[in-house]
Amino acid sequence: MSIGSGKSLLLRRFKDFLKEAKKTLAFYHSDADGLSASVIMAKTFEKLGNKNLSTVPVEYFETEKMLKTFEKEKPQNVIFLDIAIDSKPDVIRKMGKQSLLIIDHHKIASDINASNIVFIKPQMISTIEPSRYPASKLTFDLCSSLVDLKKERWIAGIGIIGDKSEKQWKEFLKLIEKENKISYEELKELADLIEAVKVVSPQDFANLFDMFYFLEPKQILKSDFVKLKEKLNKALDKWLSEFEKNANFFPELELYFYKIKPDFPIKSALIDRLTEKYPDKTIIVLEDLGEAKLRFSARRQDFKVKMNELLEKAVQGIPQAEAGGHVPAAAGSIPRGYLKRFEENIIKILEKEYDTQLKV
């Protein structure tokens, strides 16, 4: 897909950033989309004859980790991939005048383009709904304007599948299947493998970068990490089987609220399965891992209620709370003492939302 000609200035600034990049540090979201975007970016650096790129997987809320790594590495350039860093002004400010590149597909919190910042989101270059234009595909499209990435197309496909955007990119995925003699099911296995490592063995997530950078798809499917999928699937089966019995259901609000205490962080994988079964319901899975904060994810696939806005409103006034994401999928966290308030806020917001919809 070509980048719109009306955005030529932004594209030129992007190209200049990569051509002129020196010692560069790239932070990427630790999921299939973020990992795929980072591998594509690293391949682009290599094809440009620049190997001065180091990559670090992070979660959106791990601002301290980002800043400590930044201070340790002292890079001249910083890249953020699949991370809504525009909603973290303190991070941008503390990185001073370094040259920054942000490629992300969440909603725009603030247009932070500046003389030292190249800031690109789908909304700026495309009419495609941002949640359906993953960072991996956006990175692939942008970088393809500089180098030939045909052999890396399959990597973007993993990010697309990981972010549940297959319907938007059917033809792109078909091309990958044909070029690499690989089935959609095998591509899905690769995305599931990334998810399994993230959930069951997060300390090994950074090791996935080298696998996807150096190995072919079918080689990756023979790795020992495949065994982690069995452990994840066993845990998913347990919590899925208990959903109907233990989840709180508010039929008038089309809302499921499911609180779980798993052995490892399973909420994202779990809610992805649940939303496939209940695409027209608002589902919130709240996870208690015995930490100071409770983490939650929300999903709804028919776009009737915007999950990012719902969660952002629900955490307003709760200290040290965070929330954000896309229209169909969002996540966040709250201090554990605010669970009741969070639940009440969700219900009040939806009551108002549905009352408004009924009057229209």
Residues 6+ positions from 42 with CB-CB distance below 8 Å: 26, 53, 55, 209, 213
Claim to verify: residue 274 and residue 309 sit in the same structural domain: yes
Domain CATH for 323: 3.10.310.40
Q: Are residues 14 and 159 in the same domain?
A: yes
Same domain? For 60 and 143 the reply is: yes
**Both tokens of residue 57?**
């997987």
Band the pLDDT of 3: cuts 50, 70, 90. very low
CA distance 169 to 188: 14
Structural domain of residue 340, as residue ranges?
242-359
End position of a domain, from candidates 226, 260, 280 = 226
pLDDT of 358 above 60 = no
State yes or no: pLDDT of 2 exceeds 80.
no
pLDDT at 86 (0 to 100): 94
The whole-model pTM stands at 0.89
On whether both 219 and 254 belong to a single domain, the answer is no
Average pLDDT over residues 253-260: 98
Please indicate, yes or no, whether residues 323 and 349 belong to a single structural domain of this protein. yes
pLDDT of amino acid 333 = 97
- Predicted confidence band of residue 359 (pLDDT cuts 50, 70, 90): low
Out of 160, 195, 226, a domain closes at 226
Same domain, 20 and 143: yes
Q: What is the pLDDT of residues 110-129, one digit of tens each?
A: 889 999 999 999 999 999 99
Q: Which residues pair with 285 in a beta bridge?
A: 258, 297
Residue 83 lies in a domain: yes
Q: Are residue 134 and residue 255 in the same domain, yes or no?
A: no
- Which of 267, 262, 192 lies closest to 225, judged by CA? 192
Q: Is the pLDDT of residue 1 over 50?
A: no
Q: Could you tell me if 165 and 78 lie in one domain?
A: yes
Number of domains in the chain: 2
Q: What is the 3-state secondary structure (H, E, C) of the chain?
A: CCCCHHHHHHHHHHHHHHHHCCCEEEEEECCHHHHHHHHHHHHHHHHCCCCCEEEEEECCCCHHHHHHHHHHHCCCEEEEECCCHHHCHHHHHHCCCCEEEEECCCCCCCCCCECCEEEECHHHHCCCCHHHCCHHHHHHHHHCCCCCCHHHHHHHHHHHHHCCCCCCCHHHHHHHHHHHCCCHHHHHHHHHHHHHHHHHCHHHCCHHHHHHHHCCHHHHCCCCCHHHHHHHHHHHHHHHHCHHHHCEEEHHHCEEEEEECCCCCCHHHHHHHHHHHCCCCEEEEEECCCCCEEEEEEECCCCCCCHHHHHHHHCCCCCCCEEEECCCEEEEEEEHHHHHHHHHHHHHHHHHHHHHHHHC
Angle at 109 between CA 108 and CA 112, to 5 degrees: 85
Report the CATH number at residue 121.
3.90.1640.30
Find, among 100, 62, 56, 77, the residue nearest to 295 by Cα: 62
Q: What is the pLDDT of residues 134-191, one digit of tens each?
A: 999 999 999 999 999 999 999 999 999 999 999 999 999 999 999 999 999 999 999 9
pLDDT tens sequence across 297-335: 999 999 999 999 999 999 999 999 999 999 999 999 999
pLDDT digits (tens, 9 = 90+) for 7-57: 788 999 999 999 999 999 999 999 999 999 999 999 999 999 998 899 999
Whether residues 246 and 213 share a domain: the answer is no
High-pLDDT (> 90) share of the chain, %: 92
| Residues 201 and 263 both lie in one domain | no
Domain identity same for 64 and 185: yes
